[in-house]
Structure 1
Amino acid sequence: MKKYASKTLLVIAGPTAVGKTAVAISLAKKLGTSIISADSRQCYRELTIGTAKPGQEELKAVHHYFIDAFPASEAVTAADFERLALGYLEEIFSKSDIAIACGGTGLYLKALTEGLDDMPPVDPAIVSELDAQFGEAGLLWLQEQVRTEDPLFFEQAETGNPARLLRALAFVRSTGKSITTYRTGTRKDRDFRIIKIALELPRDLLYKRINRRVDDMMKAG
């Protein structure tokens, strides 16, 4: 029998500025529950401008997990989020039948609802060395290294994303294998019910909201 068969996770997703936070907070107040932030930048205490964190009044009104949980100097991965979020759910479900996850980092939401593939550890020394080399040599150097050492990943990769390229390169240098060989796509069975809500707005209205948000952030400093 599933431990949390009677429990439900509401997942609020959607593009930037569509109104995810407002909807999540409104639902959390009505349902008497807490929110897990599924945002890869809002977890850093020093990153406030540009991350659209909930305001202080909103944070007081509803308890949020994962916001301001780490210093910016600490790397946080989707696997870290999966582990932490499942722990947050244990705490929330001990008090409520419903929990809410809200955020714009799709990989984090996938990690929470479907799980991630198990990966062998990466050598921290290799990670540090690559970070330093990337800082000196730049993106073109990084792209060429990945193209040479893990061509299978490079064919599928978002080649303009240095974080993913660095992870793939560190992985192949640590294990001798392409990171793609560990991607099985197997979905983990969660023992709670999951309801996904995707918010949308007409493009013109969404762009106006994004522009207004940027203006507000600039005014805030």
Structure 2
Amino acid sequence: MTKVLISIVGPTAIGKTSLSIALANYFKTEIVSSDSRQFFKEMQIGTAAPTQEELNAAPHHFIHHKSIVDDYNVGTFEKEAIEKLEKLFEKHHIVIMVGGSGLYVDAITKGLDDFPKVDSNIRQKLKTQYDNEGLKPLQEQLEHLDLETYKTIALDNPHRVMRALEICIGTQQPYSSYLNKKKNKRPFKTLTIGLNADRETIYKRINERVDIMMEQSLLEEAKNLYKFKHLNSLNTVGYKELFNYFNGEWTLEFAVSEIKKNSRRFAKRQLTWFKKNEDTIWFDYQAPINTIIEAVNSKIKTL
């Protein structure tokens, strides 16, 4: 029988966790997370990680299994997740994967892209420029050299921006030109399900989620992590804005409004990324679970 990975994608706050649990229970299987920030055990409230009740509702993997001080990247995740999936497929015909981190989703479903090696001095010069001038000049340079990447990557993540730029500069070719050149063979088929809503609804749900996070003591969680603000794992929406509040640069009210604004921008980038996969079956976020299950069962028969 064909082994099938059901990958659930969509913008933040759309209901992916609830759907993943419902499908895991229906298919009597387990869930692998591909959310790159929910890996870290110190970041629970600000990443909207599954609650203990949700974790108890179905077996989960790659949730809170790392610390923010660990050196963990998408390449390591790909290796560990594929190994975990191989074991899970020994006892399940279907496994669920859920997460809004497009690069991490693609690492499992497609494999990572190959990039040429470039002069390490390029990265050092970009790092110096970032330290001296900030992120905006680098963002503008990327927009000029590779508009496609500029529109899809996390522009507020300096590591991602510098990585794309060093490839553009070092190879004289757009970073995006190296994407999706080879497809890694996987010992399973992938069925991708997307949840979506109209923009107004997505934004409303995001704003409400941020308010709930603040009620759940996100401020206290961020305060406990403030001394680690230099770590890449904490260059994350929901934390970096509150760090500016702790620095005395912003009021708390403005910091919260910036969390909402940056979360909305992130959702827009997520949709841009996920819409590139033409095989994704999209559902309204309010679609009845039985409708989704019926469509999934029908599609699995054709894989």
TM (normalized to structure 1)?
A: 0.78
CA shift for structure 1 position 128: 8.5
1:6 to 2, 8, 21: 2
2:55 to 56, 59, 63: 59
Letter in 1 for 2:68: A
CA shift for structure 1 position 202: 3.6
CA shift for structure 1 position 41: 0.9
CA shift for structure 1 position 129: 8.9
CA shift for structure 1 position 7: 1.1
Q: Indicate how the Cα distance of structure 1 residues 31 and 185 shifts in structure 2: closer, same or farther if over 3 A, else same.
A: same
2:77 to 78, 81, 89: 81
Q: Indicate how the Cα distance of structure 1 residues 91 and 47 shifts in structure 2: closer, same or farther if over 3 A, else same.
A: same
Q: Secondary structure at the match of 1:157?
A: helix
Q: Indicate how the Cα distance of structure 1 residues 129 and 41 shifts in structure 2: closer, same or farther if over 3 A, else same.
A: farther
1:192 to 188, 192, 196: 188
Does residue 31 (structure 1) correspond to residue 23 (structure 2)? The answer is no
Does residue 46 (structure 1) correspond to residue 42 (structure 2)? The answer is yes
Q: Secondary structure at the match of 2:112?
A: coil
For structure 2, the residue ranges without an aligned partner over 5 or more in a row are 218-303
1:118 aligns to what? 114
Letter in 1 for 2:200: D
CA shift for structure 1 position 135: 4.5
1:210 aligns to what? 206
1:158 aligns to what? 150
Q: Secondary structure at the match of 1:33?
A: coil
Q: Indicate how the Cα distance of structure 1 residues 26 and 128 shifts in structure 2: closer, same or farther if over 3 A, else same.
A: farther
2:270 aligns to what? none
Q: Indicate how the Cα distance of structure 1 residues 47 and 126 shifts in structure 2: closer, same or farther if over 3 A, else same.
A: farther
Work out whether residues 139 and 150 of structure 2, in 8 Å CA contact, stay in contact via their aligned partners in 1: no
Q: Which moves more between the two structures, 110-119 or 98-107?
A: 110-119
Residues in 2 aligned to 1:23 and 1:83: alpha-carbon distance in whole angstroms: 26
Q: Indicate how the Cα distance of structure 1 residues 129 and 189 shifts in structure 2: closer, same or farther if over 3 A, else same.
A: same
CA shift for structure 1 position 188: 2.2
Residues in 1 aligned to 2:131 and 2:45: alpha-carbon distance in whole angstroms: 23
2:101 to 91, 105, 124: 105
Letter in 2 for 1:51: T
The root-mean-square deviation of aligned C-alpha atoms, in Å, is 3.1
CA shift for structure 1 position 60: 2.1
Q: Secondary structure at the match of 2:100?
A: coil
Residues in 2 aligned to 1:143 and 1:206: alpha-carbon distance in whole angstroms: 26
Residues in 2 aligned to 1:131 and 1:46: alpha-carbon distance in whole angstroms: 27
Q: Secondary structure at the match of 1:187?
A: coil
Q: Deviations over 1:69-97 (max 9, x none)?
A: 22213343332222222112012112211
Q: Secondary structure at the match of 2:114?
A: coil
Q: Which moves more between the two structures, 35-44 or 75-84?
A: 75-84
Q: Deviations over 1:158-192 (max 9, x none)?
A: 2834222222356689xx54683754522223221
Residues in 1 aligned to 2:69 and 2:116: alpha-carbon distance in whole angstroms: 23
Letter in 1 for 2:149: A
Letter in 2 for 1:46: E
